[in-house]
Structures are given as structure tokens and as C-alpha cells.
Structure 1
């Protein structure tokens, strides 16, 4: 089912006296249970598109429609509430709080998302999601004792703990080696299917594209193509 629509979105910045158009009328539809990968050279507009879709910056023109509601006409507080309750985020680095244990990282996210679960229910949910990402045995560990791959698993669990509808992943494997990158992408793919969420991911790594259902290639603020992930990497040049 279609859950997210990016409709004729443009983004313009003023650089001195020069107007720079970063996005030039983007149209994109995202579905539940699918991973969509945004690829393209630096400056192509993919990260700008992701942050606009996530409500982290406004459009210059166009609409972001989520669950049938136009986010571009919402107040900043309404958008904040959507982000907190409906969206999850994973970045290149895990950005874990150094003085919180793995379990406490997730409990904090439940508080931020204004979860209505009681404390005991929250603890059970933390145990459930940590088991799902293979980190239940490390729930009392602090970030300093975790490997890079483990930190990203915790970051994914934190992004999923409040049961978001959409996961935004910005270069989630860029700081990892090849094996850990594949492990993390396999986890994101599995959770997208298992939890029936919508994942929008920015990546430079062509090896990660096999984990996506759709590949969007961008260049100079435009979508060059939108194809299924059975596209071979060599055809992407």
C-alpha cells in the first residue's frame, strides 16, 4: 500500500545573490514493506530529498503527503509530533548516548516518542526489539564496549522501538566494513518486511543496492530513473 507521496517537490537555496535549485520537481511514491534506495553523486540532491521527506526542512514548492495528510501545511509542532511518533532515523554514525546502556537508549526513545506504554510494557518491548536485532545479550552494555556493527544494530533498534511507519536511513553502512555493512543492510531489509514499514535510504555503496526493492538514481536535482533492484550495478553508470 502506498503510504508516502513526494509530489512536485522543489528546493531552492539562496547563495549570496545566486539562487540554486537543489531539487527540480521530484515525484516519488513509497510503499509499505519496501526498501527504496537513493543513489547518485555528491550534490545530486538525494540527502536533501531525504531530509525534506522526513520533515527536517521545508520544501520551496510541492507537497509531502504522509498517510493521506499534507505535511507541508502542518505547523512545526505538528511535523515534530509526526517525526517523533511515526518516523525512525538511522545515520552513518550511531550517535548513541555514551552514559546510557543499550536498553536505556531505547527507553529514552520511547519517552521522546511519547509512548503510552507503562514502564513494564516498555521494558518488555525493549527486550523484544533487542532480540529481533540480535542484541538482547548486550542490553546492559555501554556504547564504549560495542563494536561498530553492534552500535548500528542498537541504532536500528532505537529507530524501531516506537514502531514507526517510515525508516529514514542516511548512509547507514558508510562507517562499517564490508561484512558488517551486509549484516546491517540484511537487518534493515528483514525488519522492513517483518514490521511492514517503509524504508527510504541514501547510499553510495552499490553493494548495498541488492537489499533494496527500488533504486532511485538522482543527478542535478532530478530523478534519472526509478527501477526495481534486479538492475545490475554495471547498468547504473
Structure 2
């Protein structure tokens, strides 16, 4: 079932007196429990598609539809609530809070997402998710003591702790070596399937495309394949 749709998305920037069109009418449909990868040359518009779809910036024109709701008709507070409750984010860098332990990183995310779980239930949920990503044994560790792969596992755990329906991943393996990249993609794929998450991912690494259900090529602001 289609859960997320982008219709005729356009994005322009004004550079002095010149208007530059970054996206020229992008159409994408995403189904539950599937990974869709966006690929293309640098500057093709793939990261712009991701950030607009995730509600992190606004399109110039077009519609973004999530579960029948038109995000393009919502105000910033309504979009913020959807981002915090239904969307999860993984970026190239883990962006962990340096003074929080692994467990505290996830507890903070539950607070941000306004989880209705009581504190003891939150702790149990955190440990459950950390076990899923094989990081419960490091729950009391600080980011400075974690490897790059471990940091990204924690970032993924933090992105899914509130059980989002959508996961947006921007170059999630770019800072990792080939083995850790494979481990992270296996984890994203397994979580996408077992938790029925819809994942939209930007990548430049062709070795990662085998983990995606669909691959969309973006060129000069248009979907070409």
C-alpha cells in the first residue's frame, strides 16, 4: 500500500537576479515496508528531494502526501508534530549528543516525540531497541568511546525508538568502511521489514543499492529512471 507520495515537486532558489530551478517536477510513490534509494550525481537534486519530503525545507510547488494528509497544506507546528511522531532520521554523521550515554540518547528521543509510555516502560523499550541493533551492551557508554559503526547503530536506534512510519536516511554509510556499511544496510533493511517502516534513502554507493527494493535515478532535478 502506498503510504507516501510526492506529486510534481518543484524547488527554485534565487541567486541574485537569476532563478535557479533545482527540482523540475518530481513524482515518487513509496510503499509500506520498502526501501527506496535515490541516486544521482552531485547536484542532481536527490538530497533536496529527501529534505523536502522529510519536512526539513519547503518546496516551491507540488504536493507531499503522507497517509492521505497533504503536508504542503500544513503549518510549521503541524509538520513538526508529524516529524517528531511519525518520521525518523539518519544522516551521514551520527550527530549524537556528546554528554549523553547511549541509553540517554534514546530516552531524549522519546521525550521529543512526546511518548506516552511511563518512565519504566520507556527504559524497557530503550533496552529492547538497543538489543535489536546489538548495542545494549554499550548502553552506558558515551559517544567518544564508540566506533563509527557503533555510533551509526545508535543513530539508527534513536531514529526508530518512537516507532516511526517513515525513515529518511541521507548517505547513512558514507563515513563507514565497506564492512561497516554492509552491517548498517543489513540493519536498516531488517528494521524496515520487521517494523514495516517505509524508508527513503539517498546514497552514492552502488554497493548499497542491492539492499533497496526500488532505485530511483535523479538527473538535473528530474526522475529519469
The CA distance in 1 between the partners of 2:76 and 2:149, in whole Å, is 34
User: 1:103-182, aligned counterparts within 5 Å?
Assistant: 103-182=103-182
User: 1:1-237, aligned counterparts within 5 Å?
Assistant: 1-225=1-225
The CA distance in 2 between the partners of 1:59 and 1:175, in whole Å, is 28
The CA distance in 2 between the partners of 1:138 and 1:103, in whole Å, is 8
**What are the ranges of 5 or more consecutive residues in structure 1 without an aligned counterpart?**
226-237
Structure 1 residue 187 displacement after superposition: 0.2
The CA distance in 2 between the partners of 1:209 and 1:99, in whole Å, is 35
1:126-184, CA deviations, whole angstroms, 9 ceiling, x for partnerless residues? 01100000101110111111000000000000000000000000000000000000000
**What are the ranges of 5 or more consecutive residues in structure 2 without an aligned counterpart?**
none
1:4-43, CA deviations, whole angstroms, 9 ceiling, x for partnerless residues? 0000111111111111111110110001100000000011
User: The residue matched to 2:224 in structure 1 has which SS?
Assistant: strand
Q: Aligned residue pairs: how many?
A: 225
Structure 1 residue 198 displacement after superposition: 0.3
Q: Which runs of 4+ in 1 moved over 2 A?
A: none
The CA distance in 1 between the partners of 2:96 and 2:55, in whole Å, is 22
Structure 1 residue 59 displacement after superposition: 1.1
Structure 1 residue 86 displacement after superposition: 0.5
Residue 235 of structure 1 is matched in structure 2 by none
The CA distance in 1 between the partners of 2:16 and 2:200, in whole Å, is 32
The CA distance in 2 between the partners of 1:138 and 1:31, in whole Å, is 34
The CA distance in 1 between the partners of 2:186 and 2:153, in whole Å, is 11
Question: How much is the aligned-residue C-alpha RMSD, in angstroms?
Answer: 0.4
Q: Provide the TM-score with structure 2 as the length reference.
A: 0.99
User: The residue matched to 1:129 in structure 2 has which SS?
Assistant: helix
The CA distance in 1 between the partners of 2:93 and 2:75, in whole Å, is 30
The CA distance in 2 between the partners of 1:2 and 1:127, in whole Å, is 31
The CA distance in 2 between the partners of 1:6 and 1:121, in whole Å, is 36
